[in-house]
Chain A
Amino acid sequence: MTPDKVAWIREVSLLDAGCFLLCSFGLIAAAQVLGCMRIYVIQSLLLTIDCVLLALDYHSWDLLAVAAIYLIAKVLLIPFLLRRTARQAMIARRELQQVINVPMSLLIALALTVLAYYLVGPMLVHTGVIIHVNLPIGFASVLIAVYTITVRREALPQMLGLLAIENGAFFAGIAVAPTFPLVGELAAAFDILIIVMILGVLSTQIHHLSGSTEVGMLSELTED
């Protein structure tokens, strides 16, 4: 590959990484379930594109296969399964409740991003430019998604937060471990599909039994 092409690939992947992080912020700010899911799908698509770019950069057929796995599992199957198992909650046009308001949450997410850069700093010695971009952004996305889960009150946004953590982990993963055994990637894809099915069914059951998908985290924790 010519140096020109390499530089081009790196610049596009940089842009992709920026958009990926933006999606993590979007998951916090989205006001409706459908919006959350769209942002998740866009983020998964960005992950897939990054994977293809990395495959070109690293000359790795494995990563192309991984990109195909992501495309099928995350971009196509998950939205399909979610619509099937939790249709009612998905199309409900309501404002989502949040423990901490959106502007404050976005500020916290920003702080978490800075924290992520600080945390991965020591690991970045003698590493390539791609790892310098992907690793902190993957870490930041994981932290932000964990935060999203703790502030969201309802089942489906929490579940999408879970899936976003996995996206963040693998965004870092494809850069640092491009030779990660394909079976591991398959395992993860298989795993998230089962997560979506089981949690989808469970949230529907909660919806039927209690009339809302609000799950009051930590409500019964205290010993009365």
Chain B
Amino acid sequence: MLIWLILILPLLALVIAAMPISIALAGWISVLTALLDVVIAVILAGEASHGRAVVAVAHWVGIDSFGSLILLVETVGALTALIFSTGFLSNHAAPTGRKRRYLLWFNLFLFALYAVPLLREIALIWLALTLTTLFSVFLVSFEHTPAALEAAWKYALLTILGAAIAILGILLLYWAQSRVGLTLFTWSQLKASAPQLSPAILNVAFLLILIGFGTKAALIPFHAWLPDTYSRAPFPICAMLSILESAAIPYVLLRIAAAVEPAPGARVDQWLILFGLVSAGGASLLILQTHEYKRLFAYSTIENAGIILTAGAMGSRAIERAAIWQIISHSLTKPLVFYAAGVVFFLTGSLRISEVRGLLSRSVWIGAAMMGAGLAIAGAPPFDIFPSELAILKAGMASPKLWPAALLACFMIISFCAITYHLFRMVLGKPGAEEPSLGGSPAAIPRSCIIALVVAALPVVVLGLYIPAPLAHWLAAATASLGGGRP
């Protein structure tokens, strides 16, 4: 019942937003439904953590502890993104019709996003992931400028291209499974058939799925759509796309990899580590040379997706747990960073790092928020990414695969230095004389944007300081539900 409610609530918000009520009211009703979804996700995570999946329809709809954690971070991200959106919309000069459509598409997008961890049938999960792209196309093009439309086109074209390649991989994977004699295409049946899968088919199938979904997650070298899309999309959309890329898609990839891992001759772990390392390394170098702070954080999402995929494939229970932890901490932190960046944009009116100088001297609060959020995403203590990255490195050093762990450590250090370098340039220093106030004053920032910032900051700070016992328990249960018979 609760599982259905998760999916019904966004649709309910959508219907209400379609009615002729004011945009602000429609926005806050969407926030309310998102809040209810968070509560339900917490309850589901509690139920699923006992090691038993919560099932709505056998074989088709249900959630286990790994899925429930993904659902939880999705709902939390959606809540803050919607709060931020109400402020963003109230400040925006777009016509009412377009603002209303923003809320409609946003709720549809949430519906598809929540469906990913709730579905058990792999073809349907593929559908849900593709729908997240389709429903977010008009969110990306919200500004309705030629540049925004072109960015949306690129985003849609390349990610759908990825989805089409992924479906070929999924069909091949099903072929391999059906040759064993199991015809239901669910996680459990895939796992059951794994020891007898043909390695020749399995490896090609997984590679196609990895390339396909990797395009959607903007793994390097399939990230061509990402810089434009993130530059043009509204800030809350960037936050949601980041959660999609670094939580929902790694969830699916790690699930498939864990399910087929017992197959003899399977090379899925090597593929994941290769693509993960290339993405983490490439993104940390891209961070170094970027000129826009929005893109900076977009590249950091790729880096984290790479870290998560690498860590998830390195083969010990401890590092899988750390990878899931990293999914959670990154998905909680990244929205915060985009909200801080959004507030900075409201203040300065510029996306270029070189044009945003001396934030601290212009507004102490905004400067401090940007500094805190930036340090959090860079992985500095006392924020929540620090302990999860540390856990990955610790478990990596103890695992038999030492060199990926060593490379990950290098990439983490590079990106930490690069992010803090750009951050200090933005926050400290004196505002340049040649560029007077491009944008508004701190007073012009909508209150709900500040609320979103505070709400998003809470878990980042709290989880950086200590891990509550239930969460530690959920993490262990999620690792157990992912892993096969690993030590």
Contacts and interface: CB of A to CB of B under 8 A. Distances in A.
Interface in B140-162: 141, 144-147, 149-150, 152-154, 156-157, 160-161
A215 B154 contact: yes
Interface in A119-150: 119-120, 122-123, 125, 138-139, 142, 146, 149
Contacts of B150: 206, 215-216, 219-220
Nearest to A206: B149
Interface string A150-189: 0000010011001001101110110011011101100110
Interface string A9-42: 0000000000000000000000000000000000
* Majority secondary structure of chain A interface residues (helix, strand, loop or mixed): helix
Interface of A: 119-120, 122-123, 125, 138-139, 142, 146, 149, 155, 158-159, 162, 165-166, 168-170, 172-173, 176-177, 179-181, 183-184, 187-188, 190-191, 194-195, 198-199, 202-203, 205-206, 209-210, 215-221, 223-224
A165 B289 contact: no
14 contacts: A146-B161, A155-B153, A162-B161, A166-B167, A172-B168, A181-B183, A199-B137, A199-B153, A202-B149, A205-B149, A206-B149, A206-B153, A209-B144, A220-B231
B175 A177 contact: yes
B204 A119 contact: yes
B289 A209 contact: no
A170 B127 CA distance: 15
Interface stretch (B118-126, B365-373, B374-382, B423-431): B118-126
A142 B165 contact: yes
Nearest to A166: B164
4 A-B pairs closest in CB distance? A184-B123, A173-B171, A169-B168, A187-B127
A215 B295 CA distance: 21
A123 B200 contact: yes
Given A122-B200, A177-B178, A203 B153 contact: yes
Nearest to A182: B123
Interface in B156-215: 156-157, 160-161, 163-165, 167-168, 171-172, 174-175, 178, 183-185, 198, 200-201, 204
B228 interface: yes
A149 B171 contact: no
A31 to B, nearest CB: 21
**What class of interface size applies to chain B in its complex with A?**
35 or more
Contacts of A173: 167-168, 171
B353 to A, nearest CB: 11
B161 A149 contact: yes
**Most chain B beta carbons < 10 A, residue from A162, A172, A224:** A162
B446 interface: no
**Most chain A beta carbons < 10 A, residue from B134, B175, B201, B231:** B175
A119 B163 CA distance: 20
B291 A169 contact: no
Contacts of B204: 119-120, 123
B130 interface: yes
Given A173-B171, A176-B171, A184 B185 contact: yes
Contacts of B174: 177, 180, 184
* Majority secondary structure of chain B interface residues (helix, strand, loop or mixed): helix
B165 A165 contact: yes
B227 interface: yes
Contact of B164 (A162, A184, A198, A203): A162
Contacts of B420: none
A169 B149 contact: no
Given A120-B204, A180-B174, A215-B150, 10 more contacts: A159-B157, A165-B164, A181-B121, A184-B174, A195-B134, A206-B150, A209-B149, A217-B154, A220-B227, A220-B231
Nearest to A211: B146
A202 B201 contact: no
Contacts of A146: 161, 165
Contacts of B124: 183-184, 187
Nearest to A218: B224
Contacts of B152: 202
Given A198-B137, A209-B144, A142 B200 contact: no
Contacts of A184: 121, 123-124, 174, 185
B101 to A, nearest CB: 11
B127 A191 contact: yes
Nearest to A191: B130
A50 B145 CA distance: 44
Contact of B131 (A149, A172, A191): A191
A183 B123 contact: yes
B290 interface: yes
B167 A188 contact: yes
B331 to A, nearest CB: 26
Contacts of B289: 223
A175 to B, nearest CB: 9
Nearest to B152: A202
A176 B204 CA distance: 14
A7 to B, nearest CB: 25
B138 interface: yes
A210 B153 contact: no
A142 B212 CA distance: 12
B126 A162 contact: no
A173 B157 CA distance: 22
A148 to B, nearest CB: 11
A125 B201 CA distance: 10
Contacts of B137: 198-199, 202
Contacts of A221: 224, 227-228
A78 B121 CA distance: 27
A220 B144 contact: no
B178 A179 contact: yes
**Most chain A beta carbons < 10 A, residue from B160, B224, B231:** B160
Contacts of A149: 157, 161
B59 to A, nearest CB: 10
B153 A187 contact: no
A96 B374 CA distance: 46
A142 B44 CA distance: 41
A195 B227 contact: no
A145 B251 CA distance: 29
Contacts of B167: 166, 169-170, 173, 188
A205 B146 CA distance: 9
Interface string B219-232: 00000100110010
Contact of A194 (B134, B154, B198): B134
